[in-house]
Structure 1
Amino acid sequence: MRLVLIAALVALTVTGCGADTEKTPAPAAPGTGEGLTASGFGPYRIGQTRDELIGAELVGALKTDEAGCATGTGTGSALPQKPKLRFADGRLVQIEVTTPGAATDAGLAVGAELADVTARYPDGRIIFGRPGAAWEVTDGTNALLVKVTGDNVTGLVGGVAASVEKRHRTESGC
C-alpha cells in the first residue's frame, strides 16, 4: 500500500498531474470563508498563545498527549470541524483537521482524491513517516501537510514546519 501511494504521488508529479485544475474548489471551512493554511485556520493562528485562545473560549480543556504535547480541541467558533490544536511552550504550533469537507484555502478538502493534491499544490514534496507518505508544502517557517491514505486525503495539518515534519516522521513531538 505504501509503495502504491509513493508511486502514485511520483507519477502525478512527473506527469504534470493530469488533473482538471479548473474544477470548482471544495468549500472552505463553513462559516468562516477561510480554509486551513500553513499559518492558520479560521480564528486560529500559528504562534497564538494558549492563554489567548483559552481567554477567547476557542479551545477546550487541554491535556497532555502521548508525545508530551499540550493538546486541545478547537471550540466556541464557527468551525464545526473542531480542529485538534497542539501547543509547545505555551504557543499554538499545529492545527489538524480530519472532518470530511474541511478544506484548505486552495479548496483541497478532506476526502479529495490524490490527483487533486498535486494539482492544487504542485510545489509540494513527498515526506515519509511512520503513517506513510504525505505531501508537504512549505510557506516560510510554516508548512501544510496533506495526509493521504490509499487514494484519498484523510487529514490536513498546518503549523510550524519543524513541528509538523517531526510529528509526521516519528509520530512524536509538538
Structure 2
Amino acid sequence: MRRSPLVILIAALALTGVAGCSDDETPPAAAPQSASPAPTESLDMPPTVDNPKPTDPITPGEQQASGFVAHLQISADGFGPYEIGATQEETIADGLIDSASDTGNGCATATGPGRYLSPALLFAQGKLVQIRVTAAQATTTDGVAPGAPLADVQAAYPAGKAVTGTGGVQGWETVGGTGALLVEVTGGTASALTAGVATTVEKVFTTGQGC
C-alpha cells in the first residue's frame, strides 16, 4: 500500500520534534567569581626621624653653666681653654677665673674653676705667663699625666733636662722656642704639670719667686 506524501511529511516532522526534546541541554557555565581581597591590618608605623645634627663643641660659657669637668691637655702654649699670652681681662670675661690676687710689681695670681681642674695661674703685666695643674685628668699632648713614673716622662720627652726646684723638688723641663713644659716629680712620679713662658716657668720653679 502506498503512502501519500502528506503522511510521510507529518511523520518526519514528528520524529524531528521527538529527537529535539530528548537531547539534554547543557546549561551555560557560570562566570567565575573574583576572590575578595583579604582584609589587611593597619600597622602603626613609627614617625620618620631626621638624622641628628653633629653636636657643636662645648663653649666655655656652656661648660661653666653645666659644671662640666673635662680631661684637658697642657702644652707650652696653654691648657684647655687657657692660652699663654691672653690678657687677664679676657680670661675673666671668659669665666676662666674663680679668684685673683694682685701680688705687686705688675704680677697677679689666680685660680681657675673646678670644671677646668682648678689650675693655678700667673699673670705678668696683665698677661697669662704660667699655668700649673695637679689634677689627674690633665695630660700633656704626649699622654703624660700626674702619677706617671719618671721613666715614662723621660721617654715621652727625651730632649728634656732635669731641674731642681725649691726644697729639692725635681722636675723634667722641655723648652721649645719661648715656651716651656715642666713636669714636677715627687717620689719618682709626676706630681704637677706646668706650662708657660720658659724664663718664668724656670724662675718660679727654681727660686720660688713670682713673675
Same fold (TM over 0.5): yes
Equivalent pair of 1:93/1:163 in contact (CA under 8 Å):
yes
1:38-72 superposed Cα distances (whole Å, 9 cap, x missing partner): 11011101000000011111112211359984111
- Which residues in structure 2 correspond to 1:159-170 (within 5 Å)? 159-170=196-207
Identity %: 47
- Which residues in structure 2 correspond to 1:109-120 (within 5 Å)? 109-120=145-156
Pick from 137, 141, 144: which aligns with 1:101? 137
Q: Number of residue pairs matched?
A: 142
The answer to whether the aligner puts 1:141 opposite 2:184 as a matched pair is no
Give the distance between the partners of 1:64 and 1:49, measured in 2 at CA. Answer: 14
The answer to whether the aligner puts 1:86 opposite 2:128 as a matched pair is no
Equivalent pair of 1:50/1:91 in contact (CA under 8 Å):
yes
Give the distance between the partners of 1:68 and 1:104, measured in 2 at CA. Answer: 29
Q: CA RMSD in A?
A: 2.0
Q: Which has the higher helix share?
A: 2
TM-score (norm 2): 0.62
Residue 166 of structure 1 aligns with an amino acid whose one-letter code is K
More moved, 36-45 vs 67-76: 67-76
> What 5-or-longer segments of structure 2 have no aligned partner?
1-68
More moved, 86-95 vs 53-62: 53-62
Equivalent pair of 1:124/1:136 in contact (CA under 8 Å):
yes
Per chain length, whose mean CA-contact separation is higher, i.e. which structure has more relative contact order (CA < 8 Å, sep 6+)?
Answer: 1
Give the distance between the partners of 1:119 and 1:71, measured in 2 at CA. Answer: 32
Q: List 4+ stretches of structure 1 deviating above 6 A.
A: none
Give the distance between the partners of 1:38 and 1:131, measured in 2 at CA. Answer: 24
Which residue of the partner structure matches residue 77 of structure 2? 39
Equivalent pair of 2:106/2:124 in contact (CA under 8 Å):
no
> What 5-or-longer segments of structure 1 have no aligned partner?
1-29
TM-score (norm 1): 0.75
The answer to whether the aligner puts 1:59 opposite 2:97 as a matched pair is yes
More moved, 60-69 vs 43-52: 60-69
- The 3-state SS of whatever aligns with 1:63 is strand
Highest CA radius of gyration, 1 or 2?
2
